[in-house]
Amino acid sequence: MNNNLLVGQIIKLDIRSMGINGEGIGYYNKLAVFVPGAIEKEEVFVKITEVSDKYAKGEIDSFIRESKRRVEPICKFFNECGACTMQHISYKEQLKIKREILINSLKRYTKLDVNSIDIKLTKESEELNYRNKSQMPFKDTNFGLALGLYAPNSNSFIYVDNCVIQKSLVNAINKSVLSILNRHNCHTPRVDNGELKYLVVRALDLGEAQVTFVLDHFDEKYRTIADEIINEIEEVVSVAYTITNKYDVGVFGDKVEILSGKNYIKDEMLGLDVRLSPKSFYQLNKKQSECMYSEILDNCIKESDIVFDGYSGIGILGLLAARKAKHVYSVDLSQDSIKNARIIERANEISNITFYSDRIENRFPSLLKDGIKPDVIVVDPPRSGLDYKVIKAILESDAERLVYISCNSSTLAKNLNDLLAKYKIEYIRPYDFFTETALVETLCVLVKK
């Protein structure tokens, strides 16, 4: 049943709420209609673009009543790019919407009385120029090689010469590297058996930057190009490449090789000397990471604590916790991440942390069998949330406190249904790690009942 709604039909719609992707939601004969670019409390004419039994999608045809919270997007690519889905909304309203997205997830997936939970206001961020890393595809054009993004759900390439949410240095390095590549007449695999797929650039607060080419196949000319990049761009101290095929998940291939310069670039986080390899995961919004990590260290970690740190990545939070706690046991499946974590451990001369490249559902029970009982467990899972085997391991550990860092409020809510068998929520705080988008990072602190 689709309420006789047809693709191409224009309907009048009151926007009643905001969706998890930043779209407005209205209802037509009880059928939810998702409208990108619409804002809660607006009244719009909508042209229907997709209809199913459970929902419909549409695009704004014209406004009847505009929200006072609607602003002019600062980015010239806003209407084409599709990455910053909330740039047309005032920043204060964005913060409210992110809290509402979290609350709506809790209402939908749990039986909790959200009014009885201490849900803090969204922690604000810098609005622009916060991303310390870019990851952009190449495209051959009539004017040479270009960098940009593909519009959502399409093959339409948008040449982006300045992304307003990326750090200025990242944008500048992208332009300079592109100029050097065009000087060498480089191409994508679609032209002249070219090599280039993506350019990955990371630029950190201490001034060091890293460039990685994602290639279809290797050509020796990239050694010359890498040397030129290091010589011509002062901040770039490391140039690498990785080769990918159609079976690889994500942008990077299995191996990353350094072409010129250092194996690692340096940064500093809350006094920790950080070393990053090209493939290392590092929060894109460093200042917000520092705010969240400081909150965890201040409120959840004591000097006498044994800490289990799950999905530890390169170990930043675990290493910070080790400077305060009795001992930290950090677990991550990625061998590359654990290798990087141990380099940071040695650089900071931290001796009370143990790293494991393993699955959490294997390592946590193994530590318990060895007589090691955690006081605090910290988990920062991917968007898919915690697997039930991991939840089972957490519950069996009987830790006094559980710190759950979530990048997906829906899977957080679903996981809470199981975790609340033994724990109760102390408080939840949404964080704005990704301004101008609908993504919400959430800190959920639980204590044993």
Query: Of residues 81, 84, 300, 407, which has the active-site annotation?
Result: 407
* Closest of 43, 70, 44, 53 to residue 5, by C-alpha: 53
CA distance 153 to 130: 26
Question: Scanning the structure block, which residue is given the tokens 């590297």?
Answer: 177
Residues whose CB falls within 8 Å of the CB of residue 438, separated by 6 or more in sequence, listed in order:
18, 19, 20, 21, 22, 85, 86, 97, 98, 101
Q: Is 84 a catalytic residue?
A: no
Dihedral angle sign, alpha carbons of residues 434, 435, 438, 444: positive
Distance between CA 436 and CA 85 in Å, rounded? 6
Count of alpha carbons within 13 Å of 18, Cβ hemisphere only? Answer: 27
Contact criterion met (CB below 8 Å) for 38 and 23: yes
For residue 444, which of 416, 415, 409, 404 has the smallest C-alpha distance? 404
At residue 316, what are phi and psi to the nearest 5 degrees? -60, -55
What is the 3-class SS of 254-315, one letter each residue? CCEEEEEECCCEEEEECCEEEEECCCCCCCCCHHHHHHHHHHHHHHHCCCCCEEEEECCCCC
Active site residues: 407
